Structure formats: structure tokens, C-alpha cells
């Protein structure tokens, strides 16, 4: 029996999730807020933009000018979407 690795998970249109094909940073952030909520995002990623008066707009502004933070958010999105597509619980 062959298992699909998280790195090989594909979305509904057949694109590899890890490539973030056609997914904007705003889409990623909206997905994560809906899936985890602001307090859980702060607990997982430890960023003030999720802890102090969080909003999509202010978080996007921070993430766009802070490459290390954007990378952490994208990695969490890839893990969460891969788990969702594979029918596993979110990490």
C-alpha cells in the first residue's frame, strides 16, 4: 500500500500545494485565521501581528515586509492544507 507524502499533496485543480500556485498571501492568511483563529496563530507562530489587535490588513502589511515571518506562515499553510486534502487532522 502506497501512502501520499504531505509534500506531494495536490489541491482540487491538481497543483502541488507546496508550490502555492495561484494562492495569494491574503488567501493564505484568511484560510489560517478561519482554521485556527488569531489566538492559536499567535501561539503557533509567536508573532505580535497575531497577538496585538490583529487584523488581516495589519498582518498582511507585516508579512509582506518581513520575509522570515511570511515563510513561517506559508509553511503552516502548506502543512494545514496538505493534511486537509489527505483527510488527516490539521497539525
The answer to whether position 81 is within a domain reads yes
> How confident is the model over 49-73, as pLDDT tens digits?
999 999 999 999 999 999 999 999 9
Q: Could you tell me which residue, 21 or 54, shows the higher pLDDT?
A: 54
Could you write out the three-class secondary structure of the chain?
Answer: CCCCCHHHCECCCCCEHHHCCCCCHHHHHHHHHHHHCHHHHHHHHCCHHHHCCCCHHHHHHHHHCCHHHHHHHHHHHHHHHHHHHCCCCCC
The answer to whether position 1 is within a domain reads no
Q: How many domains does the chain have?
A: 1
Q: What is the CATH number of the domain that holds 33?
A: 1.10.720.30
Amino acid at each position: 500500500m502506497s501512502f501520499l507524502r504531505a509534500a506531494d499533496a495536490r489541491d482540487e485543480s491538481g497543483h502541488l500545494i507546496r508550490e502555492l500556485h495561484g494562492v495569494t498571501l491574503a488567501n493564505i492568511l484568511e484560510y489560517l485565521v478561519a482554521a485556527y483563529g488569531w489566538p492559536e496563530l499567535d501561539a503557533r507562530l509567536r508573532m505580535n501581528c497575531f497577538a496585538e489587535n490583529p487584523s488581516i490588513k495589519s498582518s498582511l502589511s507585516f508579512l509582506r515586509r518581513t520575509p522570515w515571518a511570511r515563510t513561517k506562515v506559508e509553511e503552516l499553510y502548506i502543512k494545514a492544507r496538505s493534511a486537509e486534502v489527505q483527510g488527516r487532522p490539521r497539525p
